[in-house]
């Protein structure tokens, strides 16, 4: 067997590929791109939520929100480590993010404009992430699959706390319910966009499925998410902002309207409501921290010299 | 213009009188609340993800202490005030936190100096209060002492690293010391005087390793324990209390 055949045999047998195994260059590059993008999404995703830490309405909610944003930082770290096993450094990946050469999930290019958004992000955004990530726990690349197992546990806590936050609003005053409805109106379509282009327009899907990096197509994942979420919206008494949404008895699924693909591509290409601010925030934190990182290295070097002396 | 207002709040011990006890509980709760709020501003803004996570932990620890102390103060008072009532519906004149903790974060060196001063103080405070005859307070203090031990290791570690690191980091951390030293005496007013010598020993040890100097300017600003704050606190509370003040009486 050639190395390629051997590699595919491991994948087909549902065994894991480990960092020291031979792998096709395309597989390595696809994983680096995907895992780095995932890591960047966790890190950029801290911003829309940390935006509300200082304004959380109760101390209990403040504690949950801080813990959640901190979890996202932790997810970023595990994922950068998983990507590093493929031979790319964290600083290098961050640099590519800062230069706009690496992407992150477009959902984080929308602003958080009310407290209800903290609930909606947990419910819809973490919810969509889980739909995608449960599949990734079975990914053929061992370090990525294992990172996803750990991350998924925390994401389901995030999803629950978000939904629970919205239950509270929807059972509350008219102003709270209106806040929740306004929030789903703004986040519903961007959440559906998280699953990416239609299968026919997705450039990477076929190869990724063969390599078992991806196991379910974008459209199938999106359908799963809609089916699950519409019922949850009903329970909340919130209206899903899609006039074409209806149950299709024959398919056993909800039919739903088409995404505004123009908006999708506009945001992906950098012209969403918050793209510039998100990257600028990240770059500023990194640049402002340069002297701190330099000082830590200088101190470590001096310590080493002192202990050698 | 030093010592414009002298604190009358009893500190450190557990006075017999319930009113004094509530005053003390609120003062310590406010310290932790205000510092948690400041630390909450930093998440996603630091030099490394690891520092974001560490400061998030610290924010959660202080927030946890604040919540426990507010709850305990509320039940000691017996008028049904909750942690949120005490945090969200008291004004800047009602808050009795130390001026130190309400100071803006500044750069990372400034932040770490502030944390160092406060962490070293809380080490002594919690050691003392963990033996309080008020058993609830004693329990809160014993847990907080473990956290403070970790906090102090983190802040003193960074102050030393920055003091010893590069010329720039050394300047920045000395600037932080120069700016914040004036808020340190307030920690030792009244009965808290007994914490001063251990605190000073701990700070001096860190300063030797960090090659830092104690400012020669003797000026000290106090008043926080009496509700006489710097102008920063009002903005911090305005942001923190905005939701509750805009939508009063709702469940979140
Ligand atoms: Fe995450
Ligand atoms: Fe999450």
Question: CB under 8 Å, gap of 24 or more: what pairs does A149-153 form?
Answer: A150/A78, A151/A75, A151/A78, A151/A79
Q: How far apart are CA A36 and CA A40, in angstroms?
A: 6
> What is the number of residues in chain A?
309
Q: Contact A43/B172, CB-based, under 8 Å?
A: no
- Tokens 């995608």: give the residue: A132
Span from the CA of A254 to the centroid of ligand 2 (angstroms)? 26
3-class SS at B1? coil
Average pLDDT score over chain B = 94
Q: How confident is the model at residue B17 (pLDDT cuts 50, 70, 90)?
A: confident
pLDDT of A202: 84
Q: What is the pLDDT averaged over residues A80-96?
A: 97
Q: What residues of B are in contact with residue A286 (Cβ under 8 Å)?
A: 47
Q: In angstroms, what is the span from residue A43 Cα to ligand 2's centroid?
A: 10
Average pLDDT of span A201-218: 90
Question: Would B163 be classed as within a structural domain?
Answer: yes
**A17 DSSP assignment:** B
- Dist. CA A95 → ligand 1 center (Å): 21
pLDDT at B9: 40
Are A65 and A47 in contact by the 8 Å Cβ rule? The answer is no
Residue B148 to residue B119: CA distance in whole angstroms: 6
B52 touches chain A (CB under 8 A): yes
Looking at chain A, the whole-number percentage of residues with pLDDT higher than 90 is 97
The answer to whether residue B54 sits within a structural domain is yes
Output B16-21 pairs: Cβ under 8 A, ≥24 positions apart: B18/B76, B18/B77, B21/B76, B21/B134
Task: Count CB neighbours of B226 within 10 A.
Answer: 16
pLDDT at A204: 80
- DSSP string for residues in B63-98: HHHHHHHHHHHHHHHTS---HHHHHHS--TTT----
CB atoms B165 and A296 under 8 Å: yes
CA of A8 to the centre of ligand 2 (A): 33
Cβ atoms of A195 and A229 within 8 Å: the answer is no
User: Is B2's pLDDT higher than 60?
Assistant: no
Chain B partners of A59 at a C-beta cutoff of 8 Å?
A: 33, 63, 66-67, 70, 83-84, 87
Res. B8 pLDDT band, cuts 50 70 90: very low
CA of A148 to the centre of ligand 2 (A): 12
Inter-chain CB proximity B47 and A172 less than 8 Å: no
pLDDT value of residue B249: 93
Task: Tell me the average pLDDT across A285-305.
Answer: 97
**Does B251 fall in a domain?**
no
Place of tokens 């004036």: B182
Q: How far apart are CA A272 and CA A194, in angstroms?
A: 14
Chain A with chain B: Cβ pairs closer than 8 A = 142
Interface probe for B, chosen from A45, A291, A297 (most Cβ of B below 10 Å), is A291
Q: Which of residues 199-218 of A touch B (CB under 8 A)?
A: none
Please provide the DSSP assignment of B54-72 as one string: HHHHHHHHHHHHHHHHHHH
Question: Is B68 contained in some domain?
Answer: yes
Query: For chain B, what is the domain count?
Result: 1
CB B97 within 8 A of CB B33: yes
The span from the CA of A182 to the CA of A194, in Å, is 20
Region class of A37: left (phi > 0), else alpha (psi between -120 and 50), else beta: alpha
The rounded distance, in Å, linking the Cα atoms of B33 and B16 is 25
Residue B137 maps to a domain: yes
Q: Assign A104 to helix, strand or coil.
A: coil
pLDDT reported for residue A61: 98
Specify the DSSP class assigned to residue A246.
E
Question: Does B184 score more than 90 pLDDT?
Answer: yes
What's the confidence (pLDDT) of residue A203? 80
pLDDT surpasses 60 at B5 = no
Mind listing the pLDDT tens digit for each residue in A117-140? 999 999 999 999 999 999 999 999
List the 186-225 stretch of B: residues with Cβ below 8 A of A. none
Interhelix angle A174-193/A142-170, rounded to 10 degrees, is 150
> Is some CB atom of chain B closer than 8 A to the CB atom of A253?
no
Average pLDDT of span A287-303 = 97
Which whole number is the average pLDDT over A283-289? 97
B77 touches chain A (CB under 8 A): no
| Per-residue pLDDT at B16 | 54
Structure ipTM: 0.95
The SS3 assignment for A247 reads strand
In order of A94, A256, B72, the CA distances from B138 in angstroms are 46, 58, 11
User: Whole domain around residue B101: which residue ranges?
Assistant: 15-214+228-246
Q: Ramachandran region of residue B214, left (φ > 0), alpha (ψ -120 to 50) or beta?
A: beta
- The residues in B 26-45 lying below 8 A from A, measured between CB atoms, are 33, 36-37, 40-41, 43-45
User: Domain of B43: which CATH number?
Assistant: 1.20.1260.10
Q: Is B188 within a domain?
A: yes
Q: How far is residue A280's CA from residue A307's CA, in Å, rounded to a whole number?
A: 40
Are the beta carbons of A159 and A225 closer than 8 angstroms? no
Report whether pLDDT(A67) > 70. yes
Assess if residue B127 is contained within a domain.
yes
Task: Calculate ∠ Cα A79-A82-A83, nearest 5°.
Answer: 90
CB neighbour burial string for A76-86, b if at least 16 within 10 angstroms, e if fewer: bbbbbebbbbb
Given a contact cutoff of 8 angstroms between Cβ atoms, the answer to whether B48 and A65 are in contact is no
- Contact B244/A at CB under 8 A: yes
- CA A136 – CA A133 distance, rounded (Å): 5
Listed residue (B230, B81, B236, B30) closest to A53, CA to CA: B236
Decide if B252 and A57 are in contact by the 8 Å CB cutoff: yes
CA nearest neighbour of B170 among B121, B233, B213: B213
Question: Minimal CA–CA distance to A42: which of A104, A115, A92?
Answer: A104
**Nearest alpha-carbon partner for A216 in A131, A129, A149:** A131
Query: Residues of A with CB below 8 A from B240's CB?
Result: 54-55
Beta strand spans in chain B (E):
none
Mean pLDDT of chain A: 96
Which residues on adjacent β-strands are paired with residue A17? Answer: A141
Structural domain contains residue B165 = yes
- Contact present, B124 and B197 (Cβ < 8 Å): no
The alpha carbon of residue B14 and the mean position of all alpha carbons in its chain are separated, in whole angstroms, by 19
Sorted by sequence, the CB contacts under 8 Å of residue A12 that are 6+ apart come out as none
Residues with CB under 5 Å of ion ligand 2 are: A 126, 155, 158
Pick A115's closest partner by Cβ from B52, B162, B243. Answer: B243
What average pLDDT score do residues A27-46 get? 97
Tell me the C-alpha distance between B175 and B212, whole Å.
10
Q: Are B122 and B11 in contact (CB under 8 A)?
A: no
In this complex, is the C-beta atom of A178 within 8 Å of any C-beta atom belonging to chain B?
Answer: no
**Average pLDDT score over residue span A106-117:** 98
Q: Do A295 and B87 touch (CB under 8 A)?
A: no
From the CA of A45, how far away is ligand 1's center (Å)? Answer: 8
Contact A54 B239 (CB under 8 A): yes
Task: Report, as an integer, the average pLDDT of B2-14.
Answer: 42
Cβ–Cβ gap A173/B250 under 8 Å: yes
């Amino acid at each position: 067997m050639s190395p390629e055949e051997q590699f595919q045999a491991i994948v087909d047998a549902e065994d894991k590929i480990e960092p020291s195994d031979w792998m096709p260059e395309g597989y390595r590059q696809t994983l680096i791109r995907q895992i780095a993008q995932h890591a960047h999404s966790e890190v950029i995703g801290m911003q829309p939520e940390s935006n509300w830490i200082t304004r959380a309405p109760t101390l209990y909610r403040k504690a949950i929100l801080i813990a959640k944003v901190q979890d996202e930082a932790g997810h970023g770290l595990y994922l950068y480590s998983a990507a590093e096993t493929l031979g790319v450094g964290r600083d290098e990946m961050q640099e590519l993010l800062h230069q706009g050469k690496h992407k992150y999930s477009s959902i984080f290019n929308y602003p958080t404009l009310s407290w209800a958004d903290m609930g909606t992000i947990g419910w819809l955004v973490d919810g969509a992430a889980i739909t995608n990530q449960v599949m990734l726990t079975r990914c053929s690349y061992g370090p990525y699959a294992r990172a996803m197992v750990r991350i998924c546990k925390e994401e389901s806590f995030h999803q629950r706390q978000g939904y629970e936050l919205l239950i509270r609003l929807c059972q509350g005053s008219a102003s709270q319910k209106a806040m929740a409805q306004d929030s789903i109106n703004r986040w519903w379509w961007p959440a559906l966009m998280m699953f990416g282009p239609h299968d026919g327009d997705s450039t990477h899907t076929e190869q990724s499925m063969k390599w078992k990096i991806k196991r379910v197509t974008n459209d199938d994942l999106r359908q799963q998410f809609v089916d699950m979420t519409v019922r949850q919206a009903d329970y909340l008494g919130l209206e899903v902002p899609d006039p074409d949404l209806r149950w299709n008895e024959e398919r056993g699924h909800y039919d739903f309207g088409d995404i505004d693909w123009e908006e999708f591509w506009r945001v992906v290409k950098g012209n969403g409501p918050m793209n510039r601010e998100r990257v600028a925030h990240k770059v500023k934190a990194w640049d402002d921290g340069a002297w701190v990182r330099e000082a830590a290295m200088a101190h470590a070097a001096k310590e080493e010299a002192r202990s050698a002396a | 213009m030093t010592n414009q207002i002298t604190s009358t709040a009893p500190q450190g011990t557990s006075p017999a009188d319930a009113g004094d006890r509530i005053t003390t509980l609120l003062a310590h709760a406010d310290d932790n609340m205000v510092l948690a709020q400041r630390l909450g501003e930093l998440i996603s803004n630091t030099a490394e993800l690891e520092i974001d996570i560490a400061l998030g932990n610290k924010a959660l620890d202080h927030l946890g202490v604040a919540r426990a102390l507010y709850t305990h103060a509320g039940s000691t008072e017996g008028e049904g005030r909750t942690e949120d009532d005490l945090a969200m519906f008291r004004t800047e004149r009602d808050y009795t936190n130390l001026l130190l903790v309400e100071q803006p974060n500044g750069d990372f060196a400034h932040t770490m100096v502030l944390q160092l001063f406060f962490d070293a103080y809380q080490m002594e405070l919690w050691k003392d209060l963990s033996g309080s005859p008020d058993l609830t307070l004693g329990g809160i203090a014993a847990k907080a002492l473990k956290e403070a031990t970790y906090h102090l290791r983190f802040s003193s570690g960074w102050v030393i690293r920055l003091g010893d690191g590069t010329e720039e980091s050394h300047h920045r951390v000395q600037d932080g010391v120069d700016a914040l030293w004036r808020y340190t005496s307030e920690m030792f007013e009244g009965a808290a005087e007994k914490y001063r010598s251990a605190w000073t020993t701990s700070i001096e040890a860190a300063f030797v390793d960090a090659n830092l100097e104690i400012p020669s300017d003797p000026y000290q600003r106090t008043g926080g324990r009496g509700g006489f704050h710097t102008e920063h606190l009002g903005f911090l509370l305005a942001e923190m209390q905005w939701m509750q003040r805009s939508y009063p009486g709702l469940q979140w």
